[in-house]
């Protein structure tokens, strides 16, 4: 069952929905560039699949209600990657102190500019964040922070014709960690093409299953090597 939470980070109080199934292997924080990302139906559907895979989820707003209203007219705050990353780091630190989530490995699922924020936050908390998934994200907006990312990262795009393709391809050369680029054709129209959202969610869940297992379970398990250009492509 989802619990509404209030996350204080700096001078802001962010609203979120926390859900941790019994026996969870870890917990995934969702970072969306828009202020109302936690209400996005796609985010909810992906979170449900990730919970079915045995992980908790925290969907929360990176912007306050007042900031979101400003962003609706200016679109500036969603591109303030430094601000979004600070909020994500603050939410991570908050989560690590909660009784229900103490000791659980943490992962990020970032969308749009939230993908850049997730990578910056992962670079700032390398010991706390075990895996990142960026769905149609803008990793290029993470700037020099990409060079400091040591967290296994999965990039998910609509295809080689995706306008973000070049940005994600360039990021693969900067991130010194296990990294894959997955192409799921049709994700720009998730509600029109049956099964595409499910595929994005399943690929994300598989990435988290690989990298967010608790430390004792990982001790005797070989991890995938740090491959640079791993492409998985699906067709309509």
pLDDT digits (tens, 9 = 90+) for 2-40: 899 999 998 999 999 999 999 999 999 999 876 556 778
For 189-224, what is each residue's pLDDT tens digit?
544 555 788 999 999 999 999 999 765 433 333 344
Rounded Cα–Cα distance for residues 236 and 60 (Å): 32
What is the chain's mean pLDDT, rounded? 86
Categorize the per-residue pLDDT at 236 as very low, low, confident or very high, splitting at 50, 70 and 90.
very low
Between 190 and 82, name the one with better pLDDT.
82
Q: Is the pLDDT of residue 79 over 60?
A: yes
Q: What sign results for the dihedral spanned by CA atoms 180, 169, 85, 120?
A: positive
pLDDT at position 193 is 57
Range of the domain at 141: 3-234
Of 183 and 234, more confident = 183
Residues of the chain with pLDDT > 90, as a percent, come to 64
- Do the beta carbons of residue 47 and residue 231 sit within 8 Å? no
pLDDT at position 234 is 37
Q: How confident is the model at residue 68 (pLDDT cuts 50, 70, 90)?
A: confident
User: The tokens 């803008």 sit on which residue?
Assistant: 138
Rounded to two decimals, the pTM is: 0.88
The answer on pLDDT for 230 being more than 70 is no
CATH of the domain at 68: 3.40.50.1820
What does the DSSP assignment read for 85-139? HHHHHHHHHHHHTSTTTTT--EEEEEETHHHHHHHHHHHH-TTTEEEEEEES--G
As a whole number of angstroms, the distance between CA 84 and CA 108 comes to 13
The burial of 222, by beta-carbon neighbours within 10 Å (0-12 exposed, 13-18 middle, 19 or more buried), is given as exposed
pLDDT at residue 50 is higher than 90: yes
- Other beta carbons within 10 angstroms of residue 9's beta carbon come to 18
**What is the reported pLDDT for 94?**
95
Question: Would residue 136 be called left, alpha or beta, if left means φ above 0 and alpha means ψ between -120 and 50 degrees?
Answer: left
What total of structural domains would you count in the chain? Answer: 1
Q: What are phi and psi of 40, to 5 degrees?
A: -65, 125
pLDDT for res 235: 32
């Amino acid at each position: 069952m989802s619990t509404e939470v209030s996350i204080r980070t700096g001078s802001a109080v962010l609203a979120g929905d926390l859900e941790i199934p019994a026996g969870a292997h870890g917990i995934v924080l969702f970072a969306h560039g828009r202020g109302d990302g936690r209400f996005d139906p796609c985010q909810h559907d992906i979170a449900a699949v990730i919970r079915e895979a045995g992980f908790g989820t925290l969907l929360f707003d990176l912007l306050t209600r007042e900031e979101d209203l400003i962003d609706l007219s200016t679109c500036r705050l969603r591109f303030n990657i430094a601000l979004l990353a600070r909020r994500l780091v603050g939410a991570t630190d908050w989560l690590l102190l909660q009784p229900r989530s103490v000791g659980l490995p943490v992962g990020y699922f970032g969308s749009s500019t939230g993908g850049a924020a997730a990578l910056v936050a992962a670079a700032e908390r390398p010991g706390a964040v075990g895996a990142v998934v960026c769905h149609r994200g803008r990793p290029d907006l993470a700037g020099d922070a990409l060079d400091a990312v040591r967290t296994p990262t999965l990039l998910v795009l609509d295809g080689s014709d995706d306008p973000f393709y070049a940005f994600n391809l360039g990021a693969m050369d900067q991130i010194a960690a296990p990294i894959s680029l997955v192409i799921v054709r049709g994700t720009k129209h998730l509600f029109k093409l049956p099964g595409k959202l499910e595929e994005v969610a399943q690929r994300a869940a598989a990435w988290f299953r690989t990298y967010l297992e608790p430390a004792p379970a990982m001790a005797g398990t070989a991890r995938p090597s740090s491959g640079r250009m791993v492409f998985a492509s699906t067709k309509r």
